[in-house]
Amino acid sequence: MPRRLGEGQHLFFESDPARFVYEVVSGVVRLTRLHKDGRRQVIAFGFPGDLVGLPSNGRHSTECDAVTAAEVVAHRCDPLGRPDRDPSLHSVVMAAALDEISMLQDHFLMLGRRLASEKVAAFLCLLLDRIGEAVGTYRMIRLPMNRSDIADYLGLTPETISRSITQFREAKIVALEDAHTMIVLDVSRLRDMAEGS
């Protein structure tokens, strides 16, 4: 029943007719929109439990592809215009849409931070809360996406992401096992960084 996506495989494109909404079951997907000049804005990452592909005027407003191998379950979204037909799907989609709005607003606050390092810290806190795992007394973040994805999410360059992470490493706030495996040594200082103090 779930549909499997290989890394980099597309689920839908911008302005495709939206026949389905998709529930992410495993893996991570990336919702992006393209600038006229070819640059990319990452709008959001979809983690397990997220509902992605909400339509606007019957079409997808972003494109979506897999950051890692992923599984998704498709739900027809024809009935969205008629809440009486399928009230339970309707409620779920409504809740997802309202949550999405709230998440996008949080994303704005992230982009509105002063320094690049504050944005990166805020992003890491987000991942920590969302997909952090316990490792002894510390917590670990498996970063599924690469530096360019993070850069396009935060409106920065990959070089700047790298420099911020290096800075956290030198300050002993985090340690890197490899480029995609981060141990958070000092959560409270990371949260302080995210708030500019």
Residues that bind its own copies (CB under 8 A): 33, 35-37, 39, 41, 43, 54-57, 61-62, 80-84, 87, 90-91, 93-94, 97-102, 104-105, 107-109, 111-113, 155, 195-197
The stretch near DNA (CB under 7 A) out of 10-18, 54-62, 90-98, 177-185 is 177-185
Query: What x/- string results for residues 37 through 66 when contact with DNA is judged by CB under 7 A?
Result: ------------------------------
- Residue among 48, 55, 79, 158 that touches DNA (CB under 7 A): 158
169 Cβ neighbours under 8 A, 6+ residues apart: 175, 176
Nearest to 28 by CA among 12, 6, 13: 6
Select from 166, 172, 195, 196 the one that contacts DNA (CB under 7 A): 166
Distance of CA 87 to the CA centre of its chain: 28
**Residue 180 binding DNA, by CB under 7 A:** yes
Query: Does 111 engage in binding with DNA (CB under 7 A)?
Result: no
Binding-site partner at residue 100 among its own copies, DNA, none, CB < 5 to 8 Å by type: its own copies
Neighbours of 117 (CB within 10 A): 20
Pairing of strands 181-184, 138-142: antiparallel
Q: Which residues bind DNA (CB under 7 A)?
A: 114-117, 146-148, 155-163, 165-166, 176, 178-180
